């Protein structure tokens, strides 16, 4: 399996929880770049992931669904001190797993802060408490309980995760372009001051996926380039966005949170029903979904600048996601079914015939208007770079690898997010798997070419107001 540099040696066994599209694509990268044998790896999977299951390369496989009642019984014997729990599952509580790993002395990484099954859509729970904001606050509250404990990296995939590194690199690029300076901040406050000094008002996680399968979506089928359950679940959560200090007015359906960092707001609508305007270099202007994601909150929180208790600077930040066309139609059908999931689900990978996943960050409102920085990975290149991957999954897998390496190199960091980690080290590890990584400036704004076509509410005094970005 070796065909690349060894980045780190795992100090103990590895438990891989879940074996869907991301886990299947990640396993060969771990065997390629970590000093570990397949015999030291245990895969735990409940199955039903919608993909033909590839070989586990000699790893032990346990077919078991984890629940609040059995997760400790199943996992504790597999997690001696120094073990690594890589959680790439859905419907298993991240909070419960982090607690278990801290008690066991084991490392931990996930790509999304998950609740137990049903937590996203439990109508008995107030909408604000089903948000990613609430999940993030609960995860970060573990920092005080487990200060300097074994490193637990939460929300570290492509997004959330990799895109936080893109933001920092984009800020360095903008600094050189606008001011001619080349320094790199070494504190959280330093990054926030740099973003404020550059005039960054809005950050989009701007992703446009053009991958096409050989077999079209059928009626009553949910099709996606990654987890169908994962995408549907986050689409049913309330739309969320980091809320900037430059914004003139709260949306009519917007709500602030009563506790926590206060960096974001939520809308009284599922994210799958809210569309926003954004831009990527290959697609140009497009409409994406305002799907809630951890990075919308963490990036805004990280770049918040305070003077005492007063917030003096904070950018607006949100996801603007256009999945592949088959997933767009699937989401439209799901909404029409009042968010009752289709009985048939299909994750596409081997049947993809063409397309690119263009994933990056659009930093806007500064002297150069807007700057996009990110990955333009095609399905053909993804297949050349790693087995069992499409363009979408490989961007995630590369970030997972980078997060694991950083955790091993910093074994007592406690609970961390990507924003807390070394962006240059992570990009160096992930970049060989990201295809072309480019930066592009644009004069596009959400008001471009709209005056005679869209009589909806706008704020012409500042194109980078959220009211201009949101599609009415």
Copy the structure tokens of residue 372: 């996009």
**By C-alpha distance, which of 346, 355, 347, 430 is closest to 395?**
430
Residue 449: the pLDDT is 87
Q: Are 426 and 406 in contact (CB under 8 A)?
A: yes
Q: What is residue 48's predicted lDDT score, i.e. its pLDDT?
A: 64
pLDDT of residue 451: 65
Exposure letters 198-225 (e unless 16+ CB within 10 A, then b): bbbbbbbbbbbbbbbbeeebeeebbbbb
Q: What pLDDT score was predicted for residue 124?
A: 81
pTM of the model: 0.97
How high is the pLDDT of residue 472? Answer: 85
Using the CB atoms, write b or e for 76-97: b if 16+ within 10 Å: eebbeebbbbbbbbbbbbbbbb
Q: In the chain, what are the domains?
A: 8-153 (3.40.50.720), 162-391+430-469 (3.30.360.30)
pLDDT recorded at residue 129 = 87
Enumerate long-range contacts of 453-461, CB under 8 Å, 24 or more apart: 459/248, 461/248
Phi, psi of 283 (to 5 degrees): -85, -35
Per-residue pLDDT reduced to its tens digit, 57-114: 889 999 999 999 999 999 999 999 999 999 999 999 999 999 999 999 999 999 999 9
* pLDDT for residue 328: 98
Q: Could you tell me the mean pLDDT of each successive run of 10 residues in the chain, 472 residues long?
A: 84 96 95 95 83 79 96 98 97 97 98 89 82 96 95 98 98 98 97 98 98 97 94 94 98 96 97 97 98 98 96 98 98 95 95 98 98 98 96 98 98 98 98 98 94 71 96 90
Q: What is the pLDDT of residue 50?
A: 64
């Amino acid at each position: 399996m070796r065909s690349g540099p060894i980045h780190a040696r795992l100090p103990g066994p590895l438990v891989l929880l879940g074996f869907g599209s991301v886990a299947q694509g990640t396993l060969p990268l771990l065997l390629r770049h970590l000093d570990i044998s397949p015999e030291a790896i245990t895969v735990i999977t409940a199955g039903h992931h919608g993909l033909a299951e590839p070989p586990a390369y000699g790893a032990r496989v346990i077919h078991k669904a984890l629940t609040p009642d059995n997760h400790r019984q199943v996992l504790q014997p597999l997690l001696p001190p120094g073990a690594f729990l890589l959680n790439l599952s859905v419907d298993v509580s991240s909070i419960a797993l982090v607690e278990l790993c801290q008690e066991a002395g084991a490392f931990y990484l996930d790509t999304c802060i998950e609740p137990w099954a049903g937590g996203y859509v439990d109508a008995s729970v107030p909408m604000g408490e089903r948000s990613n904001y609430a999940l993030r606050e609960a995860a970060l509250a573990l920092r005080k309980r487990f200060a300097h404990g074994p490193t637990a990296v939460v929300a570290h995939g492509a997004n959330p995760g990799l895109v936080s590194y893109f933001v920092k690199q984009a800020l360095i690029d903008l600094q050189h372009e606008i001011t001619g300076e080349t320094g790199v901040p070494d504190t959280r406050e330093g990054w926030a001051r740099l973003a404020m000094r550059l005039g960054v008002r809005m950050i989009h996680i701007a992703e446009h996926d053009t991958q096409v399968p050989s077999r079209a979506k059928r009626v009553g089928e949910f099709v996606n380039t990654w987890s169908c359950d994962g995408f549907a679940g986050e689409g049913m959560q309330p739309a969320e966005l980091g809320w900037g200090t430059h914004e003139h007015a709260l949306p009519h359906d917007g709500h602030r949170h009563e506790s926590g960092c206060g960096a974001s707001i939520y809308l009284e609508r599922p994210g799958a029903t809210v569309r926003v305007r954004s831009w990527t270099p290959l697609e140009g202007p497009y409409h994406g979904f305002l799907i809630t994601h951890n990075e919308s909150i963490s990036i805004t929180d990280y770049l918040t600048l305070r003077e005492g208790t007063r917030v003096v600077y904070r950018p607006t930040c949100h996801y603007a996601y256009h999945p592949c066309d088959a997933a767009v139609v699937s989401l439209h059908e799901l909404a029409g079914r009042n968010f009752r999931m289709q009985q048939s689900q299909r994750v596409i990978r081997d049947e993809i015939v063409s397309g690119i996943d263009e994933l990056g960050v659009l930093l806007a409102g500064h002297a150069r208007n807007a700057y996009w920085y990110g990955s333009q990975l095609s399905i053909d290149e993804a297949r050349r770079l790693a087995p069992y991957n499409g363009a979408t999954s490989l961007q995630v897998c590369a970030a997972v690898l980078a997060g694991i390496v950083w955790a091993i190199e910093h074994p007592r960091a406690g609970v961390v997010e990507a924003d807390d980690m070394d962006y240059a080290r992570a990009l160096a590890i992930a970049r060989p798997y990201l295809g072309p990584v480019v930066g592009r400036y644009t004069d596009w704004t959400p008001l471009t070419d709209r005056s005679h076509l869209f009589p909806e509410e706008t704020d012409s005094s500042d194109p980078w107001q959220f009211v201009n970005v949101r599609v009415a």
